Structure 1
Amino acid sequence: MSATNSNGAPKHYPSVTKRVPMPGKATILAMGKAFPSQLIPQECLVEGYFRDTKCDDLAIKEKLERLCKTTTVKTRYTVMSKEILDKYPELATEGSPTIKQRLDIANPAVLEMAMGASIACIKEWGRPAGDITHIVYVSSSEIRLPGGDLYLASQLGLRNDVGRVMLYFLGCYGGVTGLRIAKDIAENNPGSRVLLTTSETTILGFRPPNKERPYDLVGAALFGDGAAAVIIGTDPLTGKESPFLELNYAVQQFLPDTHNVIDGRLSEEGINFKLGRDLPQRIEDNIEEFCKKLMAKAGLKNFNDLFWAVHPGGPAILNRLESTLNLSTEKLDCSRRALMDFGNVSSNTIFYVMEYMKEELKKRGGGEEWGLALAFGPGITFEGILIRSLE
């Protein structure tokens, strides 16, 4: 398991930031991420996937090859390995009841990645883990009681009165939901420091290819594994904490009568997903009004005056967003870069986008003051936060 942040070492910025956080507003104080050890180049995926699942259907193989090119993904990390399939060959057998085996793999793997990301984040923060007052834990990849929040708190050595919130099975918008919850906790509990950790693996959804389940191929071409963590707090301590984003205003909204567009069901074989072809169009039809609702809080009107941290569900969604809002080409570069480097890692991906955005803002000497963090998922649910750069 590897844990990294931007340069692999804690970063402290003793100089005063260009912008001062608003009193009482939640800020992101540190970030960290972690991945399983196995990195898969996209060009190697098809041969390995068909070898491991013992599939010899040439038409399905050609379709997956096309999908792998259109996703724009270049590399992804994965928990799944030859060793796991040798131990659990039933995972590659159509119709086998394997939910117990999948959870035996997923639960510890998700926790291990969550630990790696949290440790990297706390290291960058530079304060003792005992100063964390709350945990928000997000995952659509583990199922157990007690949940990963308790295991994480115990293994990090946090106080036993740390406040815990567990967010299960939200899918791709879960990371921004976690930010919204952490923001509310931080702003309503002065002096609190909230550790938000997200961790995801595709183990529950892994299965052999089948013509009757075309979305399985999309998942095989698009999704990856990993974890991310951030620490949220208000009124940063001068000289001890280094905020870089302010979480100014948050909105969640669902689109009526769209609950079947993204459909996931837990079965004896794991999680089965169905994805409606009209998902990008539904997002396109509603995104402008949603963004304007967030922007109005700061009196913003021009989409190109903002920086954008958008969850890259897939290239089609990013392309539709760019076209609908008439965004300059570079506005979604950080989202496209995260998708290329990690794939869609569900709730975690927004934090990989934000880390790239942090690099860009520092490189440009601050740049735009205001931005939007956006994610979309089952419901169809929109999550958005009006964010302010402190760089």
Structure 2
Amino acid sequence: MRVYLHGLSTALPPHILDQSDVRARAEMLFGGRYPQFDRLARTFETAGIVKRHSVVPIDWFARDHGWADRNAAFLDGGTALFIDAARRALDAAGWTGADVDCVVTVCSTGIATPSLEARAFTDMGFRDDVMRVPVFGLGCAGGVSGLSLAQSLAAARPGARVLLVVVETCSLAFRTDRLQKADIIATVLFGDGAAAACLSTDRPGGSPVVTLGRGHQKIWADTLDIMGWEVDGTGFGVIFDRAIPAFVTAEFAAATEGALRAANLDRNEVARFVCHPGGAKVVEAIESALDLTAGVLDAERAVLRDAGNMSAPTVMFVMKAVIDAGTTGQMVGCALGPGFTAAFLPFHVAAEAP
């Protein structure tokens, strides 16, 4: 049963954080308190990021915030991003909210019960019998894993219209109280954003025609401390292991070969790998691991430059950029996230319906 992509969208919140402004603000907040700040501050220039977007203005970060403040900002900003991205995807598909049979919501940067799709229910015009599938905890792998889950749901219910919405507000995890290297790196990399996709087994009428294959995951044992959240009374605290690029270099190629075997694909059939740009060093590590020409992941670097690492939706920004550029052929979406997990999704882009 083929599953087609009917609409793909991205959305960014209103507040733009210029990288030079973020660096100056971080120096003001960390510089006199964290002895290694000057050395780590060089990463603001080497991270490949020019700007990011946030659900809150930069002055918000000058004050101390606990769980209540952070989650209130997540609920407001996350719901707005959900609605924006979802409406854009539905418009691209020619659907309305009432047409949606199942909505999958992926998010790891805030707690919402009722979840975001319920909070957006009235604005979106969803039917009262819409199936809701909220998913938490996938982190940076959430875009690829979310697409894989939505693909499986669409394939299992031929004709059903599935809406996937991926929302992250990473900036709200900014911490000045812990004074850990991971917090500095998070300040360098993280931004907020959302993406959405409409999927169905019905053949779309326009072009290009994007067919989504079955997703694949690989999880490594004894790797819980590589990436994730620490949770305390103040909020989420990021876990970043310094060995992530080295881990990618050592392990990603074999994981990718496993995903290709699962999809019955040969490496020479893949026209492009579409990857989550976790950071400049991670992009370089992926190119090295997959024996790609240095610099070939240009769309990944462009997304990182203009929006930073938004966690889960970032790879969908790359996917949209690649499709919009007119690239065709067999592709594989790739992302790494907490677990430690690699997520893969084969998809094919054709200029016209087969």
Tell me the TM-score range normalised by the shorter chain.
over 0.9
Distance (Å, rounded) in 1 between the aligned partners of 2:78 and 2:36: 30
Given residue 383 of structure 1, which amino acid in structure 2 is its aligned partner?
A
Map of 1:125 onto structure 2: 93
1:66-123 CA-partner distances (Å, limit 9, x unpaired): 011121111100123255357xx333xxxxxx11111111111111111111111111
Q: Which residue of structure 2 aligns with residue 216 of structure 1?
A: 183
Q: Distance in 2 between matches of 1:190 and 1:175?
A: 23
Using structure 2 for the length normalisation, give the TM-score. Answer: 0.92
1:66 maps to amino acid: R
Deviations 1:191-247 (A, max 9, x none): 111110011112541122754x11100000001011111111113243xx5554211
Q: Does 1:382 align with 2:339?
A: no
Q: Which protein has the larger Cα radius of gyration, Structure 1 or Structure 2?
A: 1
2:272 corresponds, among 307, 318, 323, to: 307
Could you say if the C-alpha distance between residues 327 and 82 of structure 1 is closer, same or farther in structure 2, counting changes exceeding 3 Å? closer
Q: What residue is the counterpart of 1:62 in the other structure?
A: 38
1:231 aligns with 198
- Give me the CA root mean square deviation: 2.1
Aligned match of 1:31: 8
Structure 2 partner of 1:134: 102
Residues 149, 243 of structure 1: CA spacing in aligned structure 2 closer, same or farther, 3 A cutoff? Answer: farther
**1:145 counterpart residue number:** 113
Whether 1:373 aligns to 2:333 is yes
Large movers: runs of 4+ above 6 Å: none
Per the alignment, in what secondary structure is the counterpart of residue 43 of structure 2? Answer: helix
Alpha-carbon separation, structure 2, partners of 1:67 and 1:113 = 28
Going from structure 1 to structure 2, the CA distance change for 1:145 and 1:299 (only over 3 Å counts) comes to: closer
In the TM superposition, residue 385 of structure 1 has moved relative to its aligned partner by 1.0
Match in the other structure for 2:290: 325
- The residue that corresponds to 2:140 in the other structure is 172
Report what 2:24 is aligned to: 47
Distance 2:171 2:18 in 1: 18
Q: Whole-Å Cα distance in 2 between the matches of residues 324 and 350 of structure 1?
A: 18
Please tell me whether the aligned partners of residues 182 and 196 of structure 1 are also in contact (alpha carbons under 8 angstroms): yes
Question: What 5-or-longer segments of structure 2 have no aligned partner?
Answer: none
1:277 positional shift: 1.7
Shift of 1:306: 2.2
**Partner of residue 112, structure 1:** 80
Kindly indicate whether the alpha-carbon contact (under 8 Å) linking 1:31 and 1:228 is maintained by their aligned counterparts in 2.
Answer: yes
Q: Say if 1:82 and 1:121 are closer, same or farther in 2 by CA, change over 3 A.
A: same
Gaps of 5+ in 1: 1-23, 92-97
How far residue 259 of structure 1 moved from its aligned partner, in angstroms, is 1.1
Superposed displacement of residue 299, structure 1? 3.7
Alpha-carbon distance in structure 1 between the residues aligned to 2:135 and 2:51: 28
Deviation at 1:54, TM superposition (A): 7.6
Query: Number of residues paired by the alignment?
Result: 350
* Contact residue 248 and residue 289 of structure 2 kept, 8 A: no
| Residue type at the aligned position of 2:297 | L
Q: Normalization by structure 1: what TM-score? A: 0.84
Q: Which amino acid aligns with 2:190?
A: F
Q: Which moved more, 1:111-120 or 1:53-62?
A: 53-62
